[in-house]
Amino acid sequence: MADSEAPAKAVQVKLVLLGEAAVGKSSLVLRFVSNDFNENNSPTIGAAFLTQKCRLEDKVIKFEIWDTAGQERFHSLAPMYYRNAAAAVVVYDITKASSLEKAKAWVNELQRQANPNIVIALLDLITDGAVSTTAGVADSQTEAAAAPGAEGADESAQDGQEPLDDVTEAQPETTTTPAAASGESLRQVTREEAEAYAKEAGGLLFFEASAKTGKGVQELFTEIAKNLPIESMMPKTPGAGGAASGTAANRRAAAAQAGNAGSGNKVNLTEGGANKARGGCC
């Protein structure tokens, strides 16, 4: 079993982000994971995935958030990306009608190919113009997760908040007035249109959020967490799977949901020496 992660009650949830290139997927993650925003976010480089914990009643949910790494840019995203994802946030930009069309295509593909129980959220990501917010960003824990630059990210996933005390449900909400309406003047997609689609596409969750102000971001992830079939995703009791790490256990649960009876014989290639590199950061 995974060694030092003693209070390992956390349920691991693989969450993928989909949407047209440059709609702000990475900014959204950065906001959620480190409550930060970077105006000129360069295309994502260097991080395999970011993690963030979320408390839901008595359970801790550890989101493992995968970035497309730019592979969507030329319609070349590998299906491996959403394999076994328990949740997907499909993002579009209200100022670009084409981005909603792209979002619909992704929802389609997920419903055809991904885990049948996947929780899909359609997200209206407000691109905030020049409006400055009074965001009281709690900045104490940003460094860990921000991962631009190839070097820093070579070893393993960038863990946002590892220790349990850092659970972020208590993060100060950014004190925004509904100033996020900045993009409104450029709006091409009405909220009603998108919401109607979300309903008709088979009960997608629907949200509006702003990465810049942080508005709606925490709610988005909390609501996703509430909609996950948590019970069936709980790590199995030790002994059932032997050397399964947390992630593997989650995947097994996800695989079981998907109807793939993946029992036994799992192997962990990194057990032993190679694991140390990973533990080092936290």
At its nearest, how many Å lie between another protein and the CB of residue 47?
A: 7
Distance separating alpha carbons of residues 25 and 106, to the nearest angstrom: 14
Q: Which is nearer to another protein, 71 or 227 (CB)?
A: 71
Q: Which is nearer to another protein, 36 or 67 (CB)?
A: 67
Count residues contacting another protein (CB under 8 A)? 43
Residue with token string 């863990």:
159
Name beta bridge partners: 63: 13, 52
Chain centroid to CA 181: 24
- The answer to whether residue 76 forms part of the interface with another protein (CB under 8 A) is yes
- The answer to whether residue 281 forms part of the interface with another protein (CB under 8 A) is no
- The answer to whether residue 186 forms part of the interface with another protein (CB under 8 A) is no
Q: Binding string, 237-256, against another protein, x = CB under 8 A? A: ----------xx--x---x-
Structure tokens at 43: 């295309």
Q: Binding string, 2-31, against another protein, x = CB under 8 A? A: ------------------------------
At its nearest, how many Å lie between another protein and the CB of residue 140?
A: 27
- Span of 51-59, 154-162, 215-223, 225-233 interacting with another protein by CB under 8 A: 154-162
Short-list 72, 115, 62, CA closest to 235: 62
2-9 contacts at long range (C-beta below 8 A, 24 or more positions apart): 2/245, 2/246, 3/275, 3/279, 4/279, 5/246, 7/164, 8/235, 8/246, 9/59, 9/60
Distance separating alpha carbons of residues 214 and 30, to the nearest angstrom: 10
Distance separating alpha carbons of residues 46 and 18, to the nearest angstrom: 18
Cβ-proximal residues to 271 (8 Å cutoff; 6+ apart), any chain: 243
- The answer to whether residue 274 forms part of the interface with another protein (CB under 8 A) is yes
Neighbours of 86 (CB within 10 A): 29
CA Rg value for the chain: 18
- Span of 32-40, 175-183, 230-238, 263-271 interacting with another protein by CB under 8 A: 263-271
Q: Which is nearer to another protein, 178 or 264 (CB)?
A: 264
Figure out which of the listed residues 1, 56, 70, 166 binds another protein, where binding follows CB under 8 A. Answer: 70
Residue with token string 């991962």:
147
Figure out which of the listed residues 38, 117, 156, 227 binds another protein, where binding follows CB under 8 A. Answer: 156
Tell which positions 30-59 bind another protein, by CB under 8 A: 44-49
Figure out which of the listed residues 78, 97, 186, 281 binds another protein, where binding follows CB under 8 A. Answer: 78
Sheet with 49-56, edge to edge strand ranges = 49-56, 59-66, 11-19, 87-93, 119-125, 205-209
Give the SS3 label for residue 125. Answer: strand
- The answer to whether residue 165 forms part of the interface with another protein (CB under 8 A) is no
Q: Which is nearer to another protein, 86 or 209 (CB)?
A: 86
Tell which positions 199-238 bind another protein, by CB under 8 A: none
Q: Which is nearer to another protein, 132 or 270 (CB)?
A: 270
Residues that bind another protein (CB under 8 A): 44-49, 69-71, 73-76, 78-81, 83, 112-113, 150, 153-157, 247-248, 251, 255, 259-270, 274
